[in-house]
Amino acid sequence: MANNNLQFKTNYDASSKIEPFYKGGKVQISKDEKYIFCTCGSHVNVLEINTGKIVHSVEHDDQEDITSFALSYDDELLVTASRALLLKQWDWKQAQCTRSWRAIHTVPVASMTFDSTSTLLATGGCDGTIKLWDVVKQYCTHNLKGSSGVVHLVQFHPDISRLQLFSSSLDCGIRMWDLRSSQLLCVLQSHYSAVTALSFSPDGGTMVSSGRDKICTVWDLKTRKAKRTVPVYEAVEGVVLLPKNQDFSQIGVKSKDLHFITAGSKGVLRVWEANTARCVYTQTLASTLTAVSEEEEGEEKDDDPRSLTHLLHLPDSSRLATVTAEHNIVLYQLPGLTTQQQFVGYNDEVLDVKFLGKGDSHIVVATNSCQLKVFELLTNSCQILYGHTDTVLSLDVFKNGVLLASCAKDKSVRVWQMDSDSGHIHCVAQGSSHTNAVGSITCSRMKASFIVSGSQDCTVKVWDLPADLSTTGADIHQITARATEKAHDKDVNSVAVSPNDKLLASGSQDRTAKLWSLAGEGSLGLLGVFRGHRRGVWAVCFSPIDQVLATSSADGTTKLWSLQDFSCLKTFEGHDASVLKVIFVSRGTQLLTSGSDGLVKLWTIKTNECVKTLDAHQDKVWGLHGSRKDDKMVTGSADSNITVWVDVTEAELAEEQAKQEDQILKQQELSNLLHEKKYLKALGLAISLDHPHTVLTVIKAIRQGEESRKLLEKTVLKLRVDQKESLLRYCVVWNTNARNCQDAQAVLQVLLTHLPPEELLQYQGARTHLEGLIPYTGQREGERVSNMGQDEEMDTTPLSQPFFVIDKEKGMDSGSEEKRDGDDSGQEEDPNCPEEEEEEEEEDDDGDVSITKKASTNGVHAESGESTETNGNHHSDSEESSEEEDQEEEEKDEMTVKVKCLPVSSTPQCQTFAS
């Protein structure tokens, strides 16, 4: 039946994943412009801009949703606030919580920000109060009252010498606070809806505010008066002042007057001249975007995917970043506002996925949305294709890899083309004559000559394509169906074209699959019917080499059928629920199936055996596609995840397993050597593993013994030159951490005392390593001595003991009461995870769900407050305190070196820990 000499596949290994990383809420970009920080339920995820990968993620132990966060100006500290009223300070690069305290706010924190010295943190609460925290000395410095309702915006004046804070709340006024006196200087009244953003001029004398009341206001901060109100005719979510010393003539800036950019509900960036209140430039959307019609110009839709929710300025690289209502993050390059990168934060349900591009460099994804998303696998950067007006349900790619077809609930089909040079994709053809949602589509296999669609209207249509699909300008070929056939009694769930373009197969909700002839002009000829499935047929697929058709069904089975007599040749049973997709791999000798149980199974046809089950996803796997080289596959699921899998042979598996076993043996050998106190062999073995933490463990073991200094000296000096070189490299890293600096200093003392400088300088990267030691090594001891007399009350208090403030109105008693309440915080936390409820899928009269109903009916967008399933550990405040208590003094000293403290009010309104 098939080539028996072919090597069977035995396993697949996940090589990359595209997962949700942003579901709404705050977005912040690091000062060095390398990372994007964003919330995703109970996590703050850190996205590396260059690679598009999630490189770090922090999560509260209580698994409560994070309500706000702030990254310090120097990119060192990350502070998060959760619904459990806990504030946590993170070493985000290590994903470690370094400090935890209970907020004084009585309800969750809605906003927070750092000042430019990275010393003061302001938190705005839903209780209408603003707290300021000194994160170096660890106490609450201010308790600002007077705001009405949720304080959704807090921002420091960029000139720190002014010591001013701006805030906005429910009454839409902008409050201006003097932090020296803790007094409210004034309330700037102009907006009558929520104030969304503030932007300051370089000299700090002018401020522009934006609001959802469709205006921007230019303020003179010296007179505290509005200089100009600019009507922008859209709800504005972000505003950025343009620098005056750059050439922005490409975007309409012709004078040196003040100009600013707005982003809002219309989904485009616009440039405004402040003095004249005139719009001088409106961004032109890319050709793949649906143009805004004149009728829609004055309308604003709450769920418009084009609307923008954030606007961020990256001054060093002269870029802008926008965030859309569909949780997409787009980076634009100034001065031309050209699109540089796009990242998709949340995909919702993945309904179909296919490889695309030469060498399968991209994947195209249909999500529970009217947009198509095309990811570049190397960078995770994404193109978003606009055109369909309702949820896209199915995709297929032509043999050349640069043409693809899509169909949607909007009753239409579209053909898209990728430019081989730029990678840019645009729509080249469309057709619409179905009377209901189009749930399946397939392309011709030999050449790009036609497409076939199957619909909920029970018909199958064949669409001929023009010989030349190239388009000029915005023109799109309008295609018509050359053949329409009433194919089934119920929804057509799947269609497939044979490798020679002469046959068509269709699968339906009516439990049958049918074979059709495509040879006739203008009509489809029925050749036979495949009967045997007990429920609807989800997918049909032709074998690449045999006269065989594969079908998968909601009855949990996959069947192979003969195209000669329409008999069932084999039945594959193994999925516990509907089998949603089936494809041939290994040149037709094996099958891959995916199901609503979240599993992907690999079957060998000859033996009728399932050789591998991949626990791929947590929900229905709608998307399953193999690469043209047959060396990898991609899956997409209703759990919003996309995974690329590579074929792993038995030899590779054996090699990987051998490596793992070798690592285990070496770890065991290392443990034995330490137990036997054979430190030289242990240190050499740890260095050979290239695990700095393991090497550090050996160093600590040596320093715990008798005559540790002599023993360390003897051991280190007996190492080979390459081993000493690695040890020096590790010491640079250890020395930056207060916990490990003493071990690093001990090793450095040996190396620097006993090795001549000329030998040290011959080590690879030695000069760089030594320069990295200078900021820490030379000053550390002196700093500790100089700081011993400062803030001594801080040194005896656990890090996790709650900050508290003494309200001037209540006096000392209220402060003590607040402290007692905070001390009980560890007992208030519930260590139990919330239980999740599973919703049962609604089925039709056959117990199935139609292909056109596979998308969620809960809407396209994820709620910004949606929580995700997590598996974090649970610790109370007291547990965290005990773990970190022994590190407190070093951490405080280290932080004091890096951050300059601000002057605060001399009035007795604040209280330190030990007071």
Q: Is 743 helix (H, G, I), strand (E, B) or coil?
A: helix
221-264 confidence digits (pLDDT tens): 999 999 999 999 999 999 999 988 888 888 989 888 899 999 99
514-565 confidence digits (pLDDT tens): 999 987 666 789 999 999 999 999 999 999 999 999 999 999 999 999 999 9
Q: According to the model, what pLDDT value does residue 895 have? A: 38
Give the Cα separation of 235 and 86 in Å (integer).
Answer: 33
Give the Cα separation of 808 and 138 in Å (integer).
Answer: 20
Higher pLDDT, 634 or 864: 634
Q: According to the model, what pLDDT value does residue 851 have? A: 67
Q: From the centroid of its chain, how far is CA 453?
A: 34
Give the neighbor-by-neighbor strand order of the sheet with 120-125: 109-114, 120-125, 130-134, 139-144
The DSSP secondary-structure symbol of 161 reads G
Average pLDDT over residues 870-893: 39
Instruction: Decide if pLDDT at 889 tops 60.
Output: no
Kindly list the distances between the CA atom of residue 741 and the CA atoms of 732, 754, 780, in Å, as whole numbers in the listed order.
9, 20, 9
Q: How many CA atoms lie within 13 A of 338 on its CB side?
A: 4
Kindly list the distances between the CA atom of residue 168 and the CA atoms of 174, 188, 195, 411, in Å, as whole numbers in the listed order.
5, 10, 7, 46
Tokens of 469: 């699909």
Over pLDDT 90: what percentage of the chain? 50
Q: Tell me how many degrees the CA angle 233-236-240 measures, rounded to the nearest 5.
A: 115
Q: According to the model, what pLDDT value does residue 689 have? A: 82
Contact call for residues 80 and 90 (beta carbons, < 8 A) = yes
Tokens of 607: 């033996």
Query: Where do we find the tokens 């098939």?
Result: 2
Average pLDDT of every residue of the chain = 81
Give the Cα separation of 116 and 299 in Å (integer).
Answer: 40
- Please tell me the least confidently modeled range out of 14-23, 480-489, 780-789: 780-789
608-659 confidence digits (pLDDT tens): 999 999 998 999 999 999 998 888 999 999 999 999 999 886 556 566 666 7
The DSSP secondary-structure symbol of 249 reads G
Give the Cα separation of 421 and 222 in Å (integer).
Answer: 53
| pLDDT classification of 358: cutoffs 50, 70, 90 | confident
Q: According to the model, what pLDDT value does residue 776 have? A: 60
| Interaxial angle between packed helices 692-704 and 650-675, expressed in degrees from 0 to 180 and rounded to the nearest 10 | 10
361-395 confidence digits (pLDDT tens): 999 999 988 989 999 988 888 999 989 999 999 99
| pLDDT classification of 474: cutoffs 50, 70, 90 | low
Q: How many CA atoms lie within 13 A of 768 on its CB side?
A: 7
Give the Cα separation of 555 and 533 in Å (integer).
Answer: 7
The DSSP secondary-structure symbol of 864 reads T
Closest CA to 81 of 118, 48, 39: 39
Amino acid residing at 791: D
Contact call for residues 735 and 741 (beta carbons, < 8 A) = yes
Higher pLDDT, 769 or 9: 9
Amino acid residing at 900: K
Give the Cα separation of 84 and 62 in Å (integer).
Answer: 8
